[in-house]
Every structure is written in C-alpha cells, then in structure tokens.
Amino acid sequence: MNKKTAWEQASAAEGTTDSERALTRLAKKAFLSLWSYSNVFTDEGRSNGKGDGKELCDLLVVFGNDVLLFSDKDCVFHSDLDVKVAWPRWYKRAIEKSVSQLAGAEKFAKAFPKRIFLDKQCQIPLPVPLPDASVARYFLLAVTRGGHAAARKFYGGGSSGSMMLESDIHGKDHYGRPFQIGFPLASKRFIHVLDEVTVDLLLEELDTVPDLVNYLSCKESFISTPGVIVSIPGEEELLAKYIATMKGGQHGLPNIPRGMKFAALPEGDWVAYRHSPQRAAKQDADKISYLWDGLIEHQSDFIRAGTALTLPDQSPGLVNHERIVRAMAEENRLARRQCGADLHFVLSKDEPQGVFARIHMGMASRSRAFIFLAIKRQKNIPYELYREIRMEYLMTYCHGIKETVPTLQEAIGISAEPYSDGESSFEFLYVDHSVPMSQEETKMWRATADELGILRPKTPASFLRDLAKEFPMPFHFVPKSAVPPMSRAERRRTEREVRKMEKKKNRL
C-alpha cells in the first residue's frame, strides 16, 4: 500500500469534536476538499522548534484571494434559568469567545501568511498559500451551537429559532438583547454568526465558494449601511431576499433609499421560497452540475498524492495543478450546471471520425474558455500513444482557440474517452493567454490545427455561451399569505401587551 502524503492525511482530517466534524464534512462538500482544512495551526508558542503550535481556527478555506475563517462552538444553553441570566452566559461562551478567536486569527494570517501549518508540530506548511493581505478578502464565520431550541421557545409563535440580525447592537450591548446579533466586536469588524440550523441552510443552498462569498459580501454591505438601522428576522429571510433580488444578472440585496433611517425585512419569504416549485425545479436541474464537482475532486486526489502529470515539454515548476482545478471551481452552481451538461454531452457522443469537441465560454470570466474533448481510441493504437495523441489535440485546441477569440485570457482543456469506450481517464490543461501570441506561434498552432483537421467551420465542434436559466420555471417571488406576517419583534411586543392587559384584569 502506498504511503499517503501529508497533504492527503490533512485532507482526511475532519476535526476533533462532533460539531467540528459536521462542519468540516459540510464545508468540503460545498467548497471541495482541496481548499478546506480543519484545525490548522500557527507556530506561536513553539520555542526552538519544540512544543505544540496554537490552533488558528476550526476550519480554514483558502480559495484564490478569498479566505474564510470558521470558529465552531457547541455550548449548552441553560434553559432552566431566566433568559436574562442564561443568554449573557451563553453569549460569552459561544459567541464572544468565537469572535475574539476569529479576529485574532485574521490578524495573524494577514501578518504571517507563511506561518500556518496543517499539523500541531508545525512541520507541514499549508499547501495552498494564503493570498497577500493587500488583495485578500477575509470572511469571518462564528458557528454557534446549542442555543437554537431556546431561541425558538423564546420567540414562540412558530418561529424558526434563528437569531435576529440587528445592526444597532454593538459589543456588550448584546448581553441585554437575547437571541439578537449585531456587531459583536467593538471594532465593528463584521462577523457572520450562524447557528446549527442556518449554517447547514447556507452551505446547502450556496454550495460553491463563488456563490457563498458573493452572498456574504452583499450581507456585510447591506447590514453595514451607514446611518441606517437594519433589522432582519433571521438569516434564512435574508437569504430568501438575496435569492429573489437580481442586479445585472447576479443575485443581490435591495438598495436602501437615501435618507432612510430604518430598514426591516419581513418574515415568511424563506418558507415561501423553500416550498416553491421553482426551487424544486432548480434543484433538479442542478443535478448534472455535480458531475463537474466530481471531476474537480477526481483531479484533486492526484494533486494531493503528487501524481498529477506534467506535460513532457514542461517542467513541473511551470505547471500549477491547483490553478487548473481552481479555474474550474471558480464557476458558480449555475455555470457548473452548463459545464456538467456540456461535458456529459461530449462524452456521450460516438463520432464516426472519433473526435468531438465543445467549446464553452465561462460565466465567472467571459475571457475564459473551457474546451471539452472526447477522442475514441482505435484498437490498433497502443494506449500510451493514444494518450499522447489526445493531449496533442487538447493542446492544439487550447492554444489555437486564441486566433478565433482574440480577447481570450485563459483556456482550460479537459479530454477523455467517450462513454462508449468503456474506459475512463482524463487530461487537464491550463493555458494562460494573457500574454499575446507572436505571429510565429499563431501560425504554428494554425498549421497544427489544419493538420489535425480541427478548429474549422466544417469540424464537428460546438462553440457555446451559457444558455441555462437558474430557475427553469418562471420565478415570481410571492409569500404564500397575502397578509404580511407578524415579525418576531411585533409578536413579542403584542405578547407583552397581552400580558399587561391580563394583569390589569386580574387586579380589577
């Protein structure tokens, strides 16, 4: 049995507690394993190369310039005590401690990006380097478990139990505002505080890094609107509003009009969306997109094992295997649906000539092209020679496409046998087109393409842009009830008034 590399061993780690393991499994499904690391360490506290390092955070996700730091705390909420006592005690242990850890982790990571390790002994450096602080985007997420049931009971009236988001609460002000979250840090550095329900909901609904970080960024801007008190009845309601709001073809959150001092979202949107036929149709249409995720994970296994192949005419130092799969993973769920469909279509073709390709312009970057290529293996050709021929076709497509699309900045090629061959192997190729080709290079690739009979109008290839709609069914977001539902704050205010009236009756 081959010994696993340190990278492979780190990838298999799932945290030290049940809650950390649950978070890690969910994160690896959403963000994919090459960019997700549980329980990473810094070399703080070590002296002369001895001693254990200090844990940075419970989960670290590094994806290009985006860095997500997670803290996970599972603390018992003492519901047998008065909420005025139980809440601040739980808040200090579950939230205050988490946000302090996250703030420190962000500060250290920005200052010392090369002092983060996969192991407690600090011998295995983080394999995917942190971005330079000048270009990095950090998102801090505190996952707090144990208080959800108490919140449901506190709010009553069929509440989901997620904490309310109130932008007017800062620091220790939280002690007197049960199950409401604003800015836990006095510095007002935004922390995304999630519970055991909303973290699952978010990572299942927005299960790619591009989808999630766009939401987190929009949320931070919305709640931090200067001069406006923002009130949101729960994370799920904000998510529903984000899904229902489109800006320039992308999801977003409503603009708060100038001069407005208070902005609130209603309850009920999430329930309406969750049970809508539009969401069900979207989930069904998304199934093909997970073929794309599976392909990324397939290649990631080879990268971690150190067995990802380098082209014969390139040295390993010139090839960044992580960059290839990251370009694939930069596509959001909708784009992956189209990429998965294109790849499946190409591999399903059984061309008499044996060669079929489809060229697809990416959604994450319109200057990126994906080339999907299937080549049937002829029985009289040795397998190694067949793979060399297949790679020659793929390289020619990835270089020659620049002549057809002069604005192209990068090309990602994927080649394989068609399904009908009954075998499965893949090549992945990344070509940087940011530097213009010389006339000599252009002529060389044109000649090679002509020799192979590809990249011509008569060649059986398709050149496509995104055609899929996120919601296959027309999407008109309307809550089930025509009567606006009572918000949690209104519901509690009404309950207080009822109790006052009852007391007056009893005194009469």
- Residue 392, classed as helix, strand or coil, is helix
Strands 116-117 and 66-74: unpaired
Over the chain (508 residues), the average pLDDT of each successive run of 10 is 76 80 88 92 86 93 96 95 97 96 97 94 92 96 95 89 95 96 94 96 95 97 95 96 88 92 92 92 95 94 82 48 91 94 92 85 86 92 93 95 91 93 89 92 94 76 61 62 47 52 50
Comparing CA positions, the residue from 386, 358, 382, 355 lying closest to residue 370 is 358
* Residues 237, 301 within the same domain: no
Handedness of CA 109, 115, 121, 127 (dihedral sign): positive
Q: Give the integer Cα–Cα distance in Å for 238 and 222.
A: 10
Q: Give the integer Cα–Cα distance in Å for 158 and 160.
A: 6
* Residues 71, 12 within the same domain: yes
Q: Do 7 and 322 contact (CB within 8 A), yes or no?
A: no
Q: Do 69 and 42 contact (CB within 8 A), yes or no?
A: no
Beta strands in 98-249 (DSSP E): 116-117, 137-145, 164-170, 180-183, 192-195, 229-232, 246-247
* Residue at 505 is within a domain: no
With tokens 């729960």, the residue in question is 234
CA angle in degrees (0–180, nearest 5) for 471-477-478: 145
* Residues 244, 327 within the same domain: no
Helical ranges in 313-367 per DSSP H: 321-329, 333-348
* Residues 46, 118 within the same domain: yes
The predicted pLDDT at position 421 comes to 87
Task: Determine which helix (DSSP H) or strand (DSSP E) holds 279, and give its type and residue range.
Answer: helix 277-285
The predicted pLDDT at position 49 comes to 77
* Residue at 469 is within a domain: no
CB hemisphere CA count around 70 (13 angstroms): 27
- Token pair recorded at residue 225: 């609107």
Q: How many domains does the chain have?
A: 2
The predicted pLDDT at position 471 comes to 83
Calculate the CA dihedral of residues 341, 202, 362, 410 and round it to 10 degrees: -130
Q: Give the integer Cα–Cα distance in Å for 295 and 343.
A: 10
* Residues 44, 92 within the same domain: yes
* Residue at 371 is within a domain: yes
The predicted pLDDT at position 439 comes to 93
Per the DSSP assignment, residues forming a β-bridge with 31 are none
* Residues 113, 240 within the same domain: yes
Q: Give the integer Cα–Cα distance in Å for 330 and 187.
A: 32
* Residue at 475 is within a domain: no
The predicted pLDDT at position 353 comes to 75
Structural domain of 118: 6-275+483-492
Q: Give the integer Cα–Cα distance in Å for 266 and 485.
A: 7
* Residue at 140 is within a domain: yes
The predicted pLDDT at position 508 comes to 42
* Residues 238, 262 within the same domain: yes
* Residue at 13 is within a domain: yes
CA distances, 476 to each of 229, 307, 467 (Å): 28, 49, 20
